[in-house]
Amino acid sequence: MKYKRILLKLSGESLMGNDNYGINYQTVYHFASEIKSAVEMGVQVGVVIGGGNIFRGVQGASKGFDRRQGDQMGMLATIINAMAVQAVLEELDVKAKVFSAEEIEGVSEKISWRKSVETLEAGYVAILGGGTGNPFFTTDSGAALRAVEIKADLLLKGTRV
């Protein structure tokens, strides 16, 4: 096996499929199936997802929202997307756990590199939502940060932006 641990970064827009907004189930199912294939090959998979299919902070700022608050809204959108990917992975009998830069009781645990690595080593897909937890940083920056934190051998970026 070439890679023991990877981090896959998906844009929120990639979850839309051919739709103009939101989450396209068939598209998420396709991504989840591909992730399952990697897991079945013994690869530990971490996933970071953007939120632009629901809300993009910088665009909110251009419409009058405070940029900081707009980015926080975008971070919440990433958690919604993380939950969607988790749900479909679990339908495919792939264990998955959502972590977030901000804990949301009953939905996600606060990101910790130790817990993320333990989760990966236990055979779960670790879905890392909420970006970096700070405004003004893209989820691409969050993906790079999380890849370093979990000591990923490879960072893959599947985005439309």
Tell me what pLDDT residue 58 has: 82
Task: Tell me the torsion sign for CA atoms 122, 125, 129, 134.
Answer: positive
pTM value?
Answer: 0.94
pLDDT tier, 161 (very low <50, low <70, confident <90, very high otherwise): low
* Token pair recorded at residue 66: 């405070």
Give residue-wise pLDDT tens across range 11-70.
999 999 999 999 999 999 999 999 999 999 999 999 999 999 999 888 888 888 899 999
Task: Tell me the torsion sign for CA atoms 60, 49, 9, 136.
Answer: positive
Inter-residue contact 115 to 150 (CB < 8 Å): no
Chain center to CA of 30: 15
For the chain, the straight-line distance linking the first and the last C-alpha, in angstroms and rounded, comes to 30
Inter-residue contact 47 to 33 (CB < 8 Å): no
How many other C-beta atoms are found inside a 10 Å radius of the C-beta of residue 126? 26
Place of tokens 């972590």: 99
Distance, in Å, from the CA atom of 109 to the CA atom of 117, rounded to the nearest integer, reads 14
Give residue-wise pLDDT tens across range 79-132.
999 999 999 999 999 999 999 998 899 999 999 999 999 999 999 999 999 999
